[in-house]
Amino acid sequence: MPGIGGSRLGPLGTRIRKTTEQKGLIMIDSAVEKYLSANQERFLEELCEYLRFPSVSAQPHHASDMRACADWLAAHCQKMGLEVECCPTAGNPIVLARTPRTKGSRKPHFVVYGHYDVQPPEPLELWQSPPFEPQVDGDRLRARGSSDNKGQHFAHLKAVEAYLRTGKELPCDLTFLVEGEEEVGCTHLGDFLRRRRRDLRCEAIVISDTGMPSPKHPALTYALRGIAAMEVVVTGPDRDLHSGIFGGSVDNPAMVLCELMAHLRDAKGRITVPGFYEGVRNLKGFEREQIARLPFTESKEARFLGVKQMRGEQGFSFLEQRSARPTCEINGLTSGYQGEGSKTIIPSWARAKLTFRLVPDQSPDQVIRRVTAHLKKVCPPTVRLEVIPGHGGAPYLLDPRGPLAQASLRALRESFRCEPILLREGGSIPIVNEFKRLLGVDSLLLGLALPDANAHSPNETMSLNLFRKGMRMAAVLWPELAAAAQK
Ligand code: BES
Ligand code: ZN
């Protein structure tokens, strides 16, 4: 790190001179800071309470847990001094919590988005402690949802609590919007945004639901991949058949499905669906520079992931492959006998769950159409093929030169005391494009999850250090963003 008062190269090659203190920029209020440090233990206990709800949106038997979790969050926000609405939808409720508005004041307004739903915790036997019984282990808090996403938006809530309880005036109005269907494609949030467009009119959306490469690399994520999900069903004989009596004369749906899946990608790792790459943008010079700053090497990454070697589309580094290139993944494959021992059958059917990750400017609908046409073309006439479209979300790209993005970078720099990075990430948050389309605003993605947080895997964790730093970042953010919005 260069010394104080030195000059160094920041995101987009801008020269950063002097420290923020010397430049007279807005600093964290000392009463707010004191409140945050004095209440750390309670914050952790409250987060644990929140994490005890098994709010798994993908599994219908958790419907009442979803409601209980939303109710708990709404009550918690109310206790904090926010004005709360727990809004029913055709799916899981959406919690809206607003900072009290002062009559006549015209402050800028920001929406903080988060999701209280979590991914299924299975396989349970791989957890070191039960997924919905949070455990502290050194710097880590282990529980499903700890970093994706309860811990991250909870840090924002606690920063606002610090303002409210110390009487420090917030320089902007805030609305927390916490939904319960992000992990299943934000099913009902689009409609909600349309209905509540006026209440949600704002300068930008702030989201902490992404990653940072290390505690020394706070990040503004300026691009997310989109997603197109589908299920492919191959049906053959109208019942399972004896594979000795009939095998060799009837097509096996499991084998056909494997052939179809093999038709999706070539030996160079390129997707073979005609037209798939149409609209895919090349990386810009500054993007390559930012990727080069990341603290990863291919061999270390392979060790970390427990694979023999990394593999992806030829001609791109593994960091480019996982963030700036589109992909196809089989997420689940089911057919035939899965129990103990063997059973000699030709299964009647086979199914695959697929998701394609998309990059600007691919469109989920078009990808689903193209993949369906391709599979229909290569499928033999001996089986029935059904392609069932699933959820979709467009890719997202923000211009990081904008004033609000730059203000976020200042907040990251000030709170983490190191140079932030601009990140393209491979994950998807389908609603960010709807925010843009329906509300006309950008999303500022300021993630607090480390690469080894095990999001969607067994033993998900949140770093307690980042939980604390996240609260500080959230406290510093509002003066920076409000000032930038008023310029
Ligand atoms: N928090 C993630 C998204 C994410 C993670 C973005 C890491 C960037 C870096 C979010 O909860 C998530 O998992 N989204 C799903 C969306 C899908 C189910 C539609 C995803 O990306 O698989
Ligand atoms: Zn997730």
pLDDT digits (tens, 9 = 90+) for 103-139: 888 999 999 999 999 999 999 999 999 999 999 999 9
Q: How confident is the model at residue 25 (pLDDT cuts 50, 70, 90)?
A: low
Residues 410 and 424 in one domain: yes
Which residues share a beta bridge with 85? 96
Rg (CA), the chain: 24
Count, residues in the chain: 487
Give pLDDT, residue 217: 95
Task: Examine residue 19 and state whether it is found in any structural domain, yes or no.
Answer: no
Task: Examine residue 273 and state whether it is found in any structural domain, yes or no.
Answer: yes
Last residue of a domain, one of 357, 374, 390: 390
429 Cα–ligand 1 center, Å: 5
Cβ 460 under 6 angstroms from ligand 1? no
For the chain, how many structural domains are there in total?
Answer: 2
Last residue of a domain, one of 354, 374, 390: 390
Last residue of a domain, one of 361, 390, 419: 390
With the most atoms of ligand 1 within 8 angstroms of its CB, the residue from 56, 148, 421 to mutate is 148
Residues 339 and 460 in one domain: no
Which residues constitute the domain of residue 206? 25-224+395-485
Give the atom of ligand 1 at the shortest distance from the alpha carbon of 456. Answer: 13
455 Cα–ligand 2 center, Å: 6
Rounded CA-CA distance 218/212 in Å is: 6
Residues 235 and 367 in one domain: yes
Residues 55 and 111 in one domain: yes
pLDDT digits (tens, 9 = 90+) for 85-97: 999 999 999 999 9
Residues 345 and 372 in one domain: yes
Residues 29 and 133 in one domain: yes
With the most atoms of ligand 1 within 8 angstroms of its CB, the residue from 209, 220, 323, 450 to mutate is 209
Cα four-point dihedral sign 7, 10, 16, 18: negative
Give pLDDT, residue 317: 95
pLDDT digits (tens, 9 = 90+) for 306-365: 999 999 999 999 999 999 999 999 999 999 999 999 999 999 999 999 999 999 999 999
Task: Examine residue 306 and state whether it is found in any structural domain, yes or no.
Answer: no
Rounded CA-CA distance 209/429 in Å is: 8
Q: Is the pLDDT of residue 12 over 60?
A: no
Question: What is the average pLDDT value for the chain, to the nearest integer?
Answer: 94
Task: Examine residue 2 and state whether it is found in any structural domain, yes or no.
Answer: no
Residues 40 and 87 in one domain: yes
pLDDT digits (tens, 9 = 90+) for 51-73: 999 999 999 999 999 999 999 99
Q: For the chain, what percent of residues have pLDDT higher than 90?
A: 92
Q: Is the pLDDT of residue 259 over 90?
A: yes
Question: Does the model's pTM come out above 0.75?
Answer: yes
239 Cα–ligand 1 center, Å: 38
Q: Is the pLDDT of residue 26 over 90?
A: no
Task: Examine residue 293 and state whether it is found in any structural domain, yes or no.
Answer: no
What b/e readout covers 338-372, taking b as 16+ CB neighbours within 10 angstroms? eeeeeeebbbbbbbbbbbbbbbbebbbebbbebbb
Rounded CA-CA distance 101/83 in Å is: 9
Give pLDDT, residue 28: 86
Give pLDDT, residue 104: 85
Task: Examine residue 33 and state whether it is found in any structural domain, yes or no.
Answer: yes
Give pLDDT, residue 248: 97
Q: What ligand is nearest to the CA atom of residue 453?
A: 1
Residues 146 and 119 in one domain: yes
